[in-house]
Amino acid sequence: MQLNVDPDQVKGFLDPLEGERLYDLAQSAAQFGPCLEIGSYCGKSTLYIGAGVKASGGVLFALDHHRGSEEHQMGELYHDPELYDDTLGKMDSLPAFRRTLANAELEGHVIALITTSVLAGRYWQTPLSMVFIDGGHSMAAALNDYRIWSRHIKPGGYLAIHDIFPDPKDGGQAPYSIYQLAQASGQFETLPSTQTLGVLRRL
Ligand code: MG
């Protein structure tokens, strides 16, 4: 695995082992079509998935409105003042994201979609070889992401979901709920997980 940026230098919440798994999935999937991630933030997962698609000559759509999830807003647990635009009074992770892409030499392999999942999904028609869901962690946001994007995954393609916590004591339940929905849909087979990264393959 070739990364041009040290992942520790990029803000975000992704274990290196989860990153390596994303890299492997993306490298394999990208030969069969574009990959898409929801929730890029400062580009930590983009670093791994982008490097994977680059290794296969593929492309990654990186979807994020860059205004932060609920937990990133002013006064919330994961608010980061360095990612706040004082003039606008809004969160803005786009400059940090672009720096990551440039430093990682991924600008030729990553297409940023700076909008909401719902708005992009309304016009989306391209079949995808991999979808990585790591957007808003409210139940409404996770359900939207699952319903909008999972149906675009090609047969044989991957659905990866971050922050799977089967025990509610370990974390929020929205990602685990959509993981269970995918399992119950009959449209996916479950592959081994890597830490909190759940992985399924479209039948
Ligand atoms: Mg996450």
Q: Express each pLDDT in 86-134 by its tens digit.
A: 999 999 999 999 999 999 999 999 999 999 999 999 999 999 999 999 9
Average pLDDT for the chain: 97
Beta bridge partners of 15: none
| CA 14 to ligand 1 center in whole angstroms | 6
> For residue 124, is it within any domain?
yes
pLDDT bin (cut points 50, 70, 90) of residue 77 is: confident
Both ends of the chain: CA-CA distance in Å?
A: 28
Contact 30, 1 (CB under 8 A): no
> For residue 187, is it within any domain?
no
> For residue 174, is it within any domain?
no
> For residue 114, is it within any domain?
yes
Q: What is the mean pLDDT of residues 146-168?
A: 98
pLDDT bin (cut points 50, 70, 90) of residue 69 is: confident
> For residue 2, is it within any domain?
no
> For residue 101, is it within any domain?
yes
> For residue 99, is it within any domain?
yes
The H or E element spanning position 98 is helix 94-103
| CA 41 to ligand 1 center in whole angstroms | 10
| CA 189 to ligand 1 center in whole angstroms | 22
Q: What is the mean pLDDT of residues 198-202?
A: 98
CB-based neighbours (< 5 A) of ligand 1, an ion: 134, 162-163
Give residue 46's identity as a one-letter amino acid code.
T
Task: Say which residue, 77 or 157, is predicted with more confidence.
Answer: 157
pTM, full prediction: 0.97
Please give the share of the chain, as a percent, with pLDDT higher than 70: 100
> For residue 60, is it within any domain?
yes
Supply the CATH number for residue 125's domain. 3.40.50.150
Structure letter (DSSP) for residue 7: G
The residue among 13, 56, 63 whose CA lies nearest residue 37 is: 63
Could you give the number of structural domains in the chain? 1
- Whether residue 137 lies in the annotated active site: yes
CA distance 202 to 106: 27
Q: Which of 12-21, 33-42, 67-76 has the lowest mean pLDDT?
A: 67-76
Structural domain that includes position 59: 7-130+143-154
Q: What is the mean pLDDT of residues 148-171?
A: 98
Of the residues 66, 72, 109, 137, only one is catalytic, namely 137
| CA 163 to ligand 1 center in whole angstroms | 5
Q: Which of 65-79, 121-135, 140-154, 182-196 has the lowest mean pLDDT?
A: 65-79
